[in-house]
Every structure is written in structure tokens, then in C-alpha cells.
Amino acid sequence: MNANTVKILALGDITGVSACEKVCRCLNKIKSEYGIDFTVANGENAASHNGLDRSTAELLLGGGIDVLTSGNHIFQKREMLTYIDENPYIIRPANYPSGTPGKGSFIFESFGLRILVMNVLGTTYIEPLSCPFEAVEKMLCENDGQYDISILDVHAEATSEKLALANYFDGKIDIIYGTHTHVQTSDTRFFPKGTAYLTDLGMCGPIDSILGVDVSKVIEKFRTHLPVRFETPEGECEMNGAVFTYDRKLRKCTGIELVRRNIG
């Protein structure tokens, strides 16, 4: 770690077991190249046929990812209903109903810094959960004074909802980015009060696909409107995400760099 800056790598939705393996194989090289101090990734599509399970979670966390966020597919694999409480490095959207297994935030401590990672699910065109604004406000209140850097993963369909959350929490959260749509956006920006923002990190998954799904299966679904079993194709993968630079003296983010590369 540079004495004055912290480099944070945020990776978009990791899609499929093959992508998990390829991300882990190249992650140390990429972290060294950018001087990364902390890595967070969305893992809700990492297991076969969506969701996250113990084996893929342990592969990713053992491969250099520090914290895994998630989204609407987090409980696709039933084992996650118990495993998520065993592993604090995996968080789920905070606006799930009270009593849902897991937590919506986690404070990662490293290099003398406390990094608060939060996760919420959008409610427009997606699961009808409780208000994400209220969920974020609650997490900030509960963790007040216990963290140095704050990060929010907004797993949402609607661009407007992501932007609304970013505007509302401008100056209250250091880094806000979106996941879920699997398409990296190019709208990196700093809001007036200092929050660093990106609408969607993109996807870590197969290049020759439609959002990580076999092209023929998606076309079949659109053409027939009949049930189709989606499959994640093999082949070359790309990594999408962003590197956020946090200045420890200024106590704010000062840089955002998009990451998009072929990882074989």
C-alpha cells in the first residue's frame, strides 16, 4: 500500500465456474499491476446455473478476492441459506426481509484501515424488496464511527435507481457502483460532494455470450417465449470492473479507472 493512497479493485458479476477459475488465475497479476490493496467482487452468478455455493465462494475468496457481494440470485443454491452465516466475507442485499440469513454489510480490516462494504438490491423491474434507501441509511447508522472507507454495491436493473441512490448518498458514501446488468458503462464520475460512481461494473464471464448465457439459448427464449434452460458457454472470458483510488489524507476518492481485459 502507498502511504497516501488505497487502491480498490471492484469486479462485476462473475458468471460461471470457468470464469471463477480464470479470474483467480490472473487476479494476482492484475492486483500487482494496479497496486491493489483491496478487492471486492459480485459473486451471485458464480456457481453453475446462477447463484453462489460453498465451492465457488471458497475458490474466489481463496483466489484473492476479499469480500463477495451478491444480488437477487444469492439464495439460488439452497446450501447458501446456511453457509452465508458461516462466512462473513459473503454479504447479501440488506433490504431482504428481517430474519433472512446473512448480512448486508461487512467491515474488512487491513493495513490499519476499516473498509465498510454494503449491498442492496434495486426494486424497479426486479425483486419487490423493502426500500433500498432506508436499508442503506440503517447500515450507515449502525456502523457509524467504525469504518474509514465506505463502498456500496447497488445490484439493480434500472439505471435511474442506481443514479438516484448515488445522488441521495453523495458525500455519505465514498464509492457507489452498480452491478446486475452485466454490461460495463463508461460514466465514471465524481458527484459534487465527492462520491465516486459508476453505473455498472460489467461482467467477468464468457465473451461469446449474451450476458454470460449461451447465445442460442437467449435467442430461442426471445423468439419462442417458451421455457429455456440457460447455459453458461465455455470459451474465452473477459474481466470487467474498475479501480478506485482513495486518498488517505484528503479522505476521499480521487481516481476511477475502468478495467476491461481478456483473461483467456
CA distance 124 to 127: 8
| Residues 6 or more apart whose Cβ sits within 8 Å of residue 258 | 184, 186, 188, 198, 241, 242
155 catalytically annotated: no
In degrees rounded to 5, what are phi and psi of residue 227?
-60, 135
Catalytic residue among 73, 155, 180, 182: 73
Identify the residue whose cell numbers are 481485459. Answer: 261
Backbone CA torsion sign across 160, 123, 156, 8:
positive
Region for 111 from its dihedrals, namely left if φ exceeds 0, alpha if ψ lies in -120 to 50, beta otherwise: left
* Residues belonging to the active site: 73
